[in-house]
Amino acid sequence: MTDATEETEDVVTLDDFTGETDDDGGGVFEQHVSDDAPDHDPFADYPDGVPAEPEDEAPAVALFGIPMQATAKLAHNLDVRRQKVWACWGKGVQVGWIADAAHQGRCSDHNKDGVGVVHAIDPMVTGERAKTIVTQGLAHHEDLEYMIHNRVIWSASSGWKPRKYTGTNPHTDHVHLSGKHGGSHENGATCTGYDLRAEAATPVFDICPKPKPPAPKPPVKPPATHAPGTRILSNKNPDMSGPDVVFVQEFIGPRHAGKADGKYGSKTAAGVRWYQAMRGIHVDGIVTPATWKQMGVKWRG
């Protein structure tokens, strides 16, 4: 893959001359721009594929003919965008850029200029991918003149607001992006002048899908406080400990259960047996739910 940060001369290959589109583009686009805002979502996915052309409009033809030999280079800013399309979505996504012989007879940003540079690209995408390209273009449009997709145009001349596009080709199967006009050649008209300084800059074009954030970790369960009535207590090795043990020791008293040190040792177990015998319940030295109940503690274990 060509380094997107360098403007290199590309030897045009067959892969660069594929894709169904007939981009009007160029100096004629303004006459197809309505003052009305679009009345449809240009990025809606097409459940049955790209819509067919109306009968009263010319059918789409291949913009990119198969040349015998052709050498051209793409303006740097557009090459950056082309390389990012491939980096994000793979080389299987076609990105048209250079006009065939039929288009070379009229003004088009897809034609090579006097020094062999092409100033337009057509990423062949629809739906969410098209929306991503246009959204990034609108956010960083300093090097662009206009974009067209699905009968909608966004251009510098209209303050980048969406407008209806009434040209013969509705651009339903791709997004057209033209480099910035004017500023470096004879005048600002398409095909006679482009802003070479703007096009030489490296634009921001963050179209790659954002990685999904990692699933939140389940909350850490706080350590059990072992409140009275939440577990059965018995003499084990190592000793069970906690505030519930302290409760039992203090409830029975130090004479029978020993010092209230929070450790359920043999002395505490002996105190529990004494208490169970006194209360007439099963004597085993284990603080069972029945023993907790006798102590006035609700069992919650």
The predicted-structure confidence for 261-299, as pLDDT tens digits, reads as follows 999 999 999 999 999 999 999 999 999 999 999 999 999
Q: What is the pLDDT of residue 34?
A: 79
What the block records as the tokens of 170 is 């509705």
Report how far residue 238's alpha carbon sits from residue 247's, in angstroms, rounded to the nearest whole number.
19
In SS3 terms, 232-286 reads as CECCCCCCEECHHHHHHHHHHCHHHHCCCCCEECHHHHHHHHHHHHHHCCCCCCC
Fold annotation for 240-294: Muramoyl-pentapeptide Carboxypeptidase; domain 1 (1.10.101)
CB contact set of 120 (below 8 Å; sequence gap of 6+)? 23, 25, 78, 97, 108, 109, 110, 176, 177, 178, 179
The domain segmentation of the chain, as residue ranges, is 10-200, 240-294
76: nearest Cα among 190, 192, 195 = 195
What whole-number distance in Å separates Cα of residue 97 and Cα of residue 21? 11
Extract long-range pairs of 88-91: CB within 8 Å, 24+ residues apart. Answer: 88/207, 88/208, 88/209, 89/125, 89/129, 91/1
User: Residue 10 pairs with which residues in a beta bridge?
Assistant: 72
Is 156 within 8 Å of 145 (Cβ atoms)?
yes
Q: Is 23 exposed, middle or buried (0-12, 13-18, 19+ CB in 10 A)?
A: buried
168-187: pLDDT as tens digits: 888 899 999 999 987 544 33
**What is the pLDDT at residue 134?**
97
pLDDT value of position 31? 65
**Residues of the chain scoring pLDDT < 70:** 1-31, 45-70, 100-106, 183-192, 222-223
pLDDT score recorded for residue 242: 92
Contacts of 104 (CB under 8 A, 6+ apart): 111
Distance CA 14, CA 30 (A): 32
Say which DSSP state 48 is in: T
Residue tagged 């910035």 (tokens): 180
d(CA 35, CA 93): 33
Describe the chain by its helix, strand, coil percentages, rounded to 5: 30, 15, 60
| Predicted pLDDT of residue 70 | 57
Rounded Cα–Cα distance for residues 14 and 7 (Å): 20
